[in-house]
Structure 1
Amino acid sequence: MGLSKLNLLYKETVLDHSQHPRHHGQLPDATAHLELRNPTCGDVIDVQAQIEDDKIVDLSFDGVGCTISQASASMMTVALIGQPVKRARELITDFSKLTIGDEISDQADEELGDAAILGTVAQFPARIKCAALPWHALDELLEKREVEKND
């Protein structure tokens, strides 16, 4: 695919998720939530998860932020709903690798779906935090849940 077509696909995908976010709003049956802020640009993301039997049954987000953070949150929910917690954390790691320009497996790329296109933010270091914010929030939420479960 040519560079101009890839740029167009990126813009269309990011704008679609930003303007028509999936799984946006409060999650009434949430079993956990975590809010993170990006002080450099003012983004605020509140990630809410319904986790049963170590599986993400449902996921949503709320908050305000730039186009990239909102689109990334939307893409994250689509990619991770239905995933076992362990696999979700692996995909969060893969997404983080993408945003800094590292390679990931073809399987992870496919499982990330639209979110994989955000790997292009590696070219714009100031935007990496925007794309990563919701993923970091969910990872912290899952880590906190794991610690509480083991106590």
Structure 2
Amino acid sequence: MELDELYREAILEHARHPRNFGDLESCDRSAAAKNVSCGDSVRLFLRLSPEGKIEAIRFNGSGCAISTASASLLTLAVHGKTAEEARALFAKVQRLLTGATTERDELPRDLAALAGVRRFPQRVGCAMLSWHALEDALRAGEKNSA
């Protein structure tokens, strides 16, 4: 099985069986994002530990397979990370999807599954939707603590 086919299977698996889907009771941050070009929407819920790590994360919404899979992968990738570490992952995913880098090795193996999306520029917004919601949720928390 080719590497691209393995990645495609990972996307389909996360789209069919998204991890961490649903509301999060007692979250301290949340943000929503909508892709106006296709109608995909996502809401991300976070709860941070006293040490500032993402101790719980969930999402809900509706969208295409890429949007759902990306949100599912995001929740697994940033769980246990600090806001700074989560932002670093956001930047790496964005560089990969926009073609600024082709290095899949910059990302954890599961997130590298998103690399194939860059061949379809109209779908990059779908893959980045939940990542933008994450960025907004983290930024909102900073405003609230300032």
TM-score > 0.5, shorter chain as reference = yes
Query: Do the aligned residues in 2 keep the contact of 1:18 with 1:67 (CA within 8 Å)?
Result: yes
1:6 and 2:3 are equivalent in the alignment: yes
Query: Do the aligned residues in 1 keep the contact of 2:74 with 2:131 (CA within 8 Å)?
Result: yes
The structural deviation recorded for 1:33 is 0.9
TM-score between the two structures when normalised by the length of structure 2: 0.92
The structural deviation recorded for 1:91 is 0.8
Name the amino acid aligned to 2:76: V
Output one character per residue of 1:23-70: Cα deviation in whole Å (capped at 9) or x when no partner. Answer: 000111211111111010110100000112311011110000000000
Find the aligned partners of 2:84 and 2:4 in 1 and give their Cα distance. Answer: 32
Q: Give the match's secondary structure for 1:139.
A: helix
1:13-32 equivalent positions in 2, closer than 5 A: 13-32=10-29
Query: Do the aligned residues in 1 keep the contact of 2:54 with 2:82 (CA within 8 Å)?
Result: yes
Gaps of 5+ in 1: none
Number of paired residues?
Answer: 144
**Could you say what the CA RMSD is over the residues aligned between the two structures, in angstroms?**
1.5
Gaps of 5+ in 2: none
Q: Give the match's secondary structure for 1:54.
A: coil
TM-score between the two structures when normalised by the length of structure 1: 0.89
* % identity of equivalent residues: 36
1:61 and 2:68 are equivalent in the alignment: no
Output one character per residue of 1:1-43: Cα deviation in whole Å (capped at 9) or x when no partner. Answer: xxx7123212210110000100000111211111111010110
Q: Give the match's secondary structure for 1:147.
A: helix
Give structure 1 regions of 4+ aligned residues with deviation exceeding 3 angstroms: none
